[in-house]
A and B are shown apart, each in its own frame.
Chain A
């Protein structure tokens, strides 16, 4: 059964005078995500990725169509709390997500809202902070952290709630390569070991390659989706919509253009090296 299911979702923002904007931010998206799946959501600025993310935990409700989370309709107000318990959303701007004056107290905020006993909250907070590598900073004040550190604490805040699904809106945008690797490997570990569903919104193709499935959006619609292999082999389509492909794929594509025959598009450096060895033989 699908854990997340979007059925023909249409949404447009209302402006200050309560008038619906003419352009739909999300324009008829249907998407099914299974339990335990790792999905990467791609698309250029303003194509509606964040808007989709906010639909997944009932922060926004579709104008038409519906969103089902584990069988519950997000428009059912009685279910909102249960849905938010199951789907944790890490927002794009970490600055305004940290609500307490001490890092560990901020991570505890979610579990406190869920009414978890104090002893267990303590364990969860320690676990979550260690998972994102911020345990040593547990007594710091959030405003004294760097952007990337804040981002990690924000992720820990959601991890501590032990959701069944984590939706992350560009969690690695502010991180250095090291931090990005750490966060990603944490997500992959959670996904593989705890069977937590992960929806990762990102601009980095190298991250998207790690997902089970890649969904590419363009102006509120789904442009294409499939395994990383399938999606990134459509280099021309992606280029046309101003999207990048992983560097290795780009290189292979250029070689193809020069008449070199390549059977399988490489997605990461390792595969690229292998491909080049084959070609040069």
Chain B
């Protein structure tokens, strides 16, 4: 049940996107997310959508996992698009009491929906094709300059990678504790919201206790394996930029130029 969450999973592979430098991937994603929200007409929106589709196809990860990651946010998606639908400006084309539908509203709803979908798909593409270690490694390297102001870059990166490693384990544990409590007659699926929150306490308390004990054991195991922080550490998979990464930056630059040109020459619709 809880383990169905596809977001944050990694699928090993050999696709072009898998082979990109994780640092490049992070920077590309940030650039792309910014450009997603700079689309103001349908041409630029189409451009961004096509680019997202291209990313997904070349990642070599089965499409069903992308759908899974969309499923998680479907609720947010529906709410935001409905809200946008009825908050448009301009002359209404249909009205019922205070609820009015405008062309601007419809456009807004379409834009918000597609933008959010692209955002989730692009982010999933990063996490699907990059192992958590690579990801945190890249973040560590990108934030390295912050070391100068005594920001604990390595520690933060290590914490992130441990968190990512133990998310599935803790989810599994939650499942187990819930089953155990149910077996003892706990009722977690009926009653009003207060009742349900109360019913969660017997799950949360053992979960926290075991998480702390686990953290202690993990620290012991890390010490046993000579961990002493970031200094003097090497990496098995050293990351380096290559021609491929340069090409991907050029592709992003092309998209940015395309969107900007569209914005200049075609009137905005929202």
Contact = CB atoms under 8 A, between A and B. Distances in A.
Interface residues on A, range: 35 or more
B235 A113 contact: no
A74 to B, nearest CB: 13
Contacts, number: 98
Contact of B224 (A59, A101, A115, A116): A59
B84 to A, nearest CB: 37
A113 to B, nearest CB: 4
B222 A59 contact: no
Contact of A110 (B131, B217, B226, B237): B226
Interface in A104-125: 104-105, 108-118, 121-122, 125
Given A100-B133, A100-B161, A141 B221 contact: no
Nearest to B218: A96
Contacts of A115: 232-234
Interface stretch (B28-36, B140-148, B164-172, B196-204): B164-172
Interface string B214-255: 100110111111111000111111100000000000000000
A190 to B, nearest CB: 18
Contact of B237 (A99, A117, A118, A139): A118
Nearest to B164: A101
Contacts of B217: 91, 93, 96-97
Interface stretch (A31-39, A81-89, A178-186): A81-89
Interface string B3-17: 000000010100000
A113 B228 contact: yes
B162 interface: yes
A99 B222 contact: yes
A100 B225 contact: no
Contacts of B236: 104-105, 108, 111-112, 118, 121-122, 125
Interface of B: 10, 12, 131-133, 161-162, 164-165, 168-169, 172, 214, 217-218, 220-228, 232-238
Given A81-B228, A102-B131, A110-B225, 14 more contacts: A84-B224, A84-B225, A84-B226, A88-B225, A91-B220, A95-B214, A96-B217, A99-B162, A100-B165, A101-B131, A109-B227, A110-B226, A112-B234, A115-B232
